[in-house]
Amino acid sequence: MSKYLFLLVSFTCLAIQGNESPDTVWAYSPKHFDCSPNEISVNGSVSILFGENSFKELAIYREPDSRWLFLVVDSAPKGMKSLMSTSQLKATSLISLTPETMGFRWEANGYNEIVFTVPGKYTLYNSDNLESEMGGYKCDIVITRN
């Protein structure tokens, strides 16, 4: 009996481990994806430097209000004002995000809005598929009051 119980417990543990999805890996790598400067005012601009292995999608997570804003995405939703096309992003080495830069709220009934609206931490993500476990690169900036 104990032999069968052991096999059942072992099989269950393996099945649970096999069904767990791996953590998405987002790497900080200034050589491949860098935000400069790392701190700006709400009215400031930040330059994003892409290495030769950049990806085709770009989003920003605004930590103060837990909001995802997509800047460039494959198969963009209707009404999204993209910063550029995915092929343009993949081919570029530098972009600038300004106080006028718009992102698309990634939620039901999403809409375009200005990205830098509140002070706090913002994290930019660059991947070939932001909505997957593929991962990619990230960099952080801090927005301060004027």
Report domain extents, the chain: 24-144
Polymer length in residues for the chain: 146
CATH code of the domain made up of 24-144: 2.60.40
Report the pLDDT value the prediction gives residue 134, as an integer from 0 to 100: 85
Tens digits of residue pLDDT in 8-20: 333 333 343 444 5
Tens digits of residue pLDDT in 74-122: 989 889 999 999 999 999 999 999 999 999 998 889 999 999 999 999 9
Report the pLDDT value the prediction gives residue 125, as an integer from 0 to 100: 96
Model confidence at 23, in pLDDT bands (50, 70, 90)? Answer: confident
> Whole-angstrom Cα distance, residue 146 to residue 144?
6
Asked whether the CA dihedral 83, 48, 66, 73 is positive or negative, the reply is positive
